A = this chain, B = another copy of it.
Amino acid sequence: MNSSPAFPDLSLLFSPRSVILVGASGRAGSIGRIALDNIAVHGRFEGELHLVNPARAEIDGRLCYRSVADIPGQDFDVALVVVPAGQVLTALRECAAKGVRFAIVVTSGFAEIGAWGVEQEREMRTVAREAGLRIYGPNCPGLTNLNARIGLNISPSFRTDTHAGPIGLVTQGGGLGRAVIQCGDRGYGVGLWGSTGNEVDLDFCDLSHHMLLDARVQVIAGIVEGFKSGPRFVAVAKAAMAAGKPIVLLKVGRSAAGIAAAQSHTASMAGEDAVNDAVFRQYGVVRVDDINELHQTAAAMVQSLRRRVPRSVCVATFSGGAGTLAADLLSAEGVGLAILGVDTATELTALAPDFIAIGNPVDLTTQIFAQATLFGDALDAIAADAAIDAIVLPIPADYGDITLRLAQDICAKAEAHPEKLFVPVWMSDRCGAGYDLLQQKGILVYRSTRGAARVLRQIAALDDARTVASAMPADAFAQGPRPALPRQFDETTAKSWLAACGVAVPRELLAADAAAAGRMGAALGGYVAVKIVSPDIAHKSDVGGVTLGVSGQQQIAAAAEEILARVGQKCPHARIDGLLVSEMIVGGIEMVIGIHRDAVFGPMLSVGFGGVFVEIMRDVAHLHLPVTEAQVAAAVASLRASAVLDGARGRSRVDRQALAASITRIAAAAYAEQEQLAEVEVNPLIVGAGAQPIAVDALLRPAAREARPA
């Protein structure tokens, strides 16, 4: 996963110079007919087109070949394969022999229906690998390039897909993609749509990467059920951040199966969807929850590209209630409401002294009905305020000519202030001429205030993610001590290794027997903890292997004897390496730090507060490795209970920087050893009991060689 993934050049797939339609048909309503019409009639494909159908000499006057092999010449860009499942593999082999670069297989009935299909797909992959033919599909609707009006697909609706646009759409299934395409009716069309189906070869990440390279695609919208490779997705997300092209993603299938299957405490802290969330946030992928949000957010990202980040927003309306509601919903999403400048307030007051309620929201009242220039003038005054990034404009109802006039004002002022985001919210179900005008002029119109608030927050959050990412020195993570891993994993060796990595641990000594434990405990002084040390016992407390808070040589020795007796009874076959005698850490706050290997994304760091917070409140933050201290500090700050670090309940304030540094050291050490380590858990890491956080207990789990993902 450390090698930089390679992505194929797909420009000839999306804009082929030559296309072979394998399974062309003249029969109305057939897949082969629809595909032919979409290429030759409803689209503007201008390259060479070859038809293959063994039963026909010609279709619509176009020559038909009996097979791909019969087509004269060599080197073709795309074969669109629509033949029945049983004939697909033969067609692909012929395509490979013909030097076809890309095969789009729309045919279904493969892995999704059973073993035969799984075997067929394996064969397809072999063809792809051996012959260099790249396969797209099977079981997909095909490919749609509306910017060039090329339809290499079997959709009966392609003829109605008339909007080009700046959004690149990548889906796995077909149905939801079509919903997004049809949202292009509201402006901000989908220019390219790839839908990868069963992904025997080309996958979601390959298509997304192509969108990054296409100059007409400004924002990528994705609908994904699962990633074939997490690291490849991370690579695409990073490249998208670098390119300044937002990825907006709807992840469907939030399965809980991963949580149930997790065997260790740390892994169960995560849960698949929390890991998705964390990875998306970390790499600037904007996550949405529903289809209507997907297009709207993608469109908003396009609109925001050359405008100010909406951190300080002004609400302007003519309905007091709508203004208050907008303020509520913006606040709920954490979007900042601007404080109007003195000049702005003065100007607004001068516009209609007896009517306007100055503040934020600015309530222009129904005076805008009577005073035709009021709305536009007020917009000018607000947009000129340097403290304001965006203007939210709730329009509660359609008032015919009046709302048309307001829409005209919004269009004019948005043009006059191109750096500011104008955010009209059309709250009524009745869309009049004003609504239509805004859409025509490319002003994105929101249909709910909450939807608008959420999108503004997402734009700002993406900017935050970029800032954190750009502040990350690429190799900072690799620095610091890298001591060798111990040969055997138990608490003593784990903590010694952590100490060598620069993490504070308690003063402690390993005693061979109970009497030695007593002597060593007395030498440490004060209260101590006594714990069994065994490579065969991961959960020491469960077998009576821990006694806390004893003092005095005799008492410590007696406690050690009792531990040995209990453990001897409960785990008669465990190898006992001795007894660990540790100073007690008094006070402080317990945290849990875990690193585990997510099946999709690889090494993940999890951070939470101890006990109930992790186990019941599920107040856990995750980060994909590698990370910087700044990211770790932000993750700690994102915990709901994070304020306990600031001295709640009479405690002193915790040094958050030292905490982030310690956690980062643990994560860096684990990351460096990821081939050997399946899991690291420091539980508890006690903060606030000294200058440095102290790793009071630690567990290392070796990687199971056979279970390692490729």
Contacts and interface: CB of A to CB of B under 8 A. Distances in A.
Interface of A: 156-157, 171-176, 178-179, 181-183, 185-186, 223, 225, 250, 252-254, 289-293, 295, 317-322, 324-325, 328-329, 331-332, 396-400, 427-430, 447-450, 611-612, 615-617, 619, 640-641, 643-644, 648-649
A182 B398 contact: yes
B173 A254 contact: no
A612 B649 contact: yes
Contacts of A293: 448
Q: Which of A176, A319, A321 has the most CB of B within 10 A?
A: A321
Given A324-B252, A429-B183, A641-B617, A157 B448 contact: no
A317 B179 CA distance: 14
Given A428-B183, A640-B617, A289 B450 contact: yes
Contacts of A178: 396-397, 428
Nearest to A317: B175
Nearest to A156: B399
Contact of A331 (B254, B289, B324, B450): B254
Contacts of A171: 321
Nearest to A173: B321
B427 A291 contact: yes
A556 to B, nearest CB: 23
A374 B259 CA distance: 37
Given A173-B321, A178-B428, A616-B641, 14 more contacts: A157-B399, A173-B320, A175-B320, A178-B397, A179-B322, A179-B397, A182-B430, A183-B428, A225-B324, A252-B328, A290-B329, A291-B322, A291-B449, A612-B649
A324 B224 CA distance: 11
Contacts of A400: 157
A318 B612 CA distance: 43
A176 B325 contact: yes
A176 B225 contact: no
A428 B290 CA distance: 12
A138 to B, nearest CB: 15
B157 A321 contact: no
A250 B649 CA distance: 37
As for how many copies of this chain the complex holds, the number is 2
A289 B329 contact: yes
Contacts of A648: 612, 615-616
- Per CB-CB distance, the 4 closest pairs between chain A and chain B, nearest first, are A175-B319, A173-B321, A178-B397, A176-B321
Nearest to A398: B182
Contacts of A649: 611-612, 615
A497 to B, nearest CB: 28
A403 to B, nearest CB: 10
A19 to B, nearest CB: 24
A648 B616 CA distance: 8
B172 A321 contact: yes
A252 B321 contact: yes
A329 B290 CA distance: 8
28 contacts: A173-B319, A175-B317, A175-B322, A176-B322, A176-B396, A176-B427, A178-B397, A178-B428, A179-B397, A179-B428, A183-B429, A185-B429, A252-B325, A252-B328, A253-B324, A254-B331, A289-B332, A290-B329, A290-B448, A290-B449, A291-B448, A291-B449, A611-B649, A612-B649, A615-B649, A616-B643, A616-B648, A617-B619
Nearest to A589: B612
Contact of A254 (B318, B322, B328, B644): B328
A424 to B, nearest CB: 14
A171 B325 CA distance: 13
A447 B179 CA distance: 11
A234 B398 CA distance: 34
A200 to B, nearest CB: 18
Nearest to A289: B450
Contacts of A174: 319, 321
Contacts of A396: 175-176, 178-179, 291
A672 B252 CA distance: 53
A185 B447 CA distance: 15
Given A254-B331, A397-B157, A321 B430 contact: no
Nearest to A251: B328
A397 B448 CA distance: 21
A446 to B, nearest CB: 10
Contacts of A291: 322, 325, 396, 427, 448-449
Contacts of A182: 397-398, 428-430
Given A291-B449, A641-B617, A175 B252 contact: no
A430 B185 contact: yes
A142 to B, nearest CB: 13
A398 B397 CA distance: 27
A429 B176 contact: no
Nearest to A296: B429
Contacts of A331: 254
A157 B430 CA distance: 12
Contacts of A397: 157, 175, 178-179, 181-182
A593 to B, nearest CB: 19
A176 B321 CA distance: 6
A427 to B, nearest CB: 4
A182 B400 CA distance: 12
Contacts of A641: 612, 616-617
Contacts of A324: 225, 252-253
A116 to B, nearest CB: 13
A172 to B, nearest CB: 7
Contacts of A156: 399
Contacts of A640: 616-617
A611 B612 CA distance: 13
A614 B236 CA distance: 42
Contacts of A448: 290-293
A174 B317 CA distance: 13
A617 B181 CA distance: 42
A337 to B, nearest CB: 12
Contacts of A289: 329, 332, 450
A30 to B, nearest CB: 11
Nearest to A320: B173
A463 B449 CA distance: 28
A292 B427 contact: yes
A325 B290 contact: yes
Contact of A225 (B253, B292, B317, B321): B321
